[in-house]
């Protein structure tokens, strides 16, 4: 006898949503199964932050600089998650043979990458929280949040722009091929300096800070520091409303660019197969 059971297939937003959570689930579960990662991803980064804290204390810098270093150290977790767990992910999936499954599946590549981001946020948020809590207790950092809602809006806009950039970089790194690994290494440390992870970016000069603002964490960190510490307002690069507006624009630009770039790569992969087996 024939089974005439009707299969209700997900399409549109339902398909996007299902694809995103299906890809996020392995990362969310895997983050807690590998206990050693919890140590290396949370405790060891505290040592890097401690180095900057002791440096600021040695040169008798204002006490707010200790908080600057702690917040910057916590935000490095999000940058590394974008750089290694998103931008380089499609290249690694290609080497492991998973990219072919992503391309031929009905789920969009953008939903796959968004699932990677959501799943990675579990470990990333854990690492950032541990750094802030431990360093704040060790070094006596105090926070004076003037506007919690505005702070939340800045953080959300920063994450949207940052992960949008990660999706766009995923296409660039995939096209770069073997150079993806070198690009990841190349961009890691210079961004720490240019974006002012451990000091106010304004100290780099107006022109450097302006060019570095293409990285969402530059403006995001600057705005969050202005909202979390009662420091000299002249340390801020731009006013918080202006930085929030720029972050929203960057989020739209990066996400739109990622959408078209991934759609183009998906089309090439399905029609020509050039992303699966490189033709020379």
pLDDT greater at residue 268 or residue 214:
214
Classify residue 84 by its DSSP letter. I
Confidence of residue 233 (pLDDT cuts 50, 70, 90): low
More confident residue, 252 or 15: 252
Residues 6+ apart with CB under 8 A from 127: 41, 42, 45, 74, 77
Decide if 2 is inside a domain: no
Task: Name the band, by pLDDT with cuts 50, 70 and 90, for residue 276.
Answer: very low
Q: Which of the four pLDDT bands, split at 50, 70 and 90, describes residue 10? A: low
Tokens of 20: 């995103």
The answer as to whether 9 is a domain residue is: no
279 falls in which pLDDT band (50, 70, 90)? very low
Residue 188 lies in a domain: yes
280 domain residue, yes or no: no
Alpha-carbon span 186 to 29, nearest angstrom: 30
- How many angstroms separate the CA atoms of 110 and 255, rounded? 9
Q: pLDDT of 44-99, one tens digit each? A: 778 888 888 898 989 888 888 888 888 888 888 888 888 777 777 777 777 777 77
Residue 12 predicted with pLDDT over 80: no
Give the global pTM.
0.82
In a domain, 26, yes or no: yes
- Helix, strand, coil percentages for the chain (3-state, nearest 5): 80, 0, 20
Q: With contact defined as beta carbons under 8 Å apart, do 225 and 73 qualify? A: no
Which residues fall within 8 angstroms of residue 118, CB to CB, at 6 or more apart?
Answer: 20, 21, 24, 28
Q: What pLDDT was estimated at residue 280? A: 45
Per-residue pLDDT at 177: 66
Residue 18: pLDDT over 70: yes
Number of domains into which the chain is organized = 1
Q: Which of helix, strand or coil describes residue 191?
A: helix
Could you tell me the end-to-end alpha-carbon distance of the chain, in angstroms, rounded to an integer? Answer: 51
Q: What is the pLDDT of residue 1?
A: 47
pLDDT over 70 (residue 7)? no
State residue 131's pLDDT score. 84
> What span, in angstroms and rounded, lies between the C-alpha atoms of 175 and 173?
5
Residue 76: which of 136, 19, 150, 127 has the closest Cα? 127
Whole-angstrom distance, CA of residue 97 vs CA of residue 103:
11
* Residue 47: inside a domain: yes
pLDDT in tens, 167-193: 888 877 777 766 666 777 777 788 888
Domain annotation covers residue 4: no
Confidence at 274, pLDDT banded by 50, 70, 90: low
**Nearest residue to 217 (alpha-carbon basis) of 124, 88, 122, 118:** 124
Is residue 1 one of the residues assigned to a domain? no
Mean of all residue pLDDT scores within the chain: 80
pLDDT for the residue 109: 79
Q: Give the residue numbers spanning the domain of 147.
A: 14-270
Judged against a pLDDT cut of 90, whether residue 246 lies above it is answered with yes
């Amino acid at each position: 006898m024939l089974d005439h059971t009707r299969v209700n297939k997900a399409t549109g937003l339902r398909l996007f949503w299902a694809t995103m959570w299906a890809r996020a689930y392995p990362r969310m579960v895997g983050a807690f199964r590998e206990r050693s990662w919890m140590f290396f991803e949370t405790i060891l980064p505290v040592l890097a932050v401690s180095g900057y804290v002791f440096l600021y204390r040695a040169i008798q810098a204002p006490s707010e600089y200790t908080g600057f270093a702690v917040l910057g150290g916590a935000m490095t977790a999000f940058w590394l998650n974008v750089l290694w767990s998103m931008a380089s992910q499609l290249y690694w999936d290609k080497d492991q043979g998973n990219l072919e499954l992503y391309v031929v599946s009905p789920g969009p590549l953008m939903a796959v990458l968004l699932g990677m981001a959501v799943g990675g946020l579990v470990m990333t948020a854990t690492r950032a929280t541990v750094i802030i809590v431990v360093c704040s207790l060790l070094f006596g950092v105090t926070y004076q949040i003037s506007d919690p809602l505005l702070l939340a809006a800045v953080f959300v806009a920063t994450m949207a722009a940052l992960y949008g950039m990660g999706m766009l970089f995923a296409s660039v790194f995939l096209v770069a091929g073997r150079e993806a690994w070198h690009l990841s290494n190349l961009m890691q440390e210079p961004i720490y300096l240019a974006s002012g992870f451990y000091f106010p970016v304004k100290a780099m000069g107006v022109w450097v800070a302006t060019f570095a603002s293409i990285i969402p964490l530059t403006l995001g960190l600057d705005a969050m520091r202005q909202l979390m510490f009662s420091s000299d307002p002249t340390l801020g690069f731009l006013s918080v409303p202006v930085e929030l507006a720029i972050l929203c624009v960057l989020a739209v630009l990066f996400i739109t660019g990622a959408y078209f770039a991934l759609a183009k790569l998906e089309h090439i992969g399905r029609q020509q197969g050039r992303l699966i087996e490189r033709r020379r």
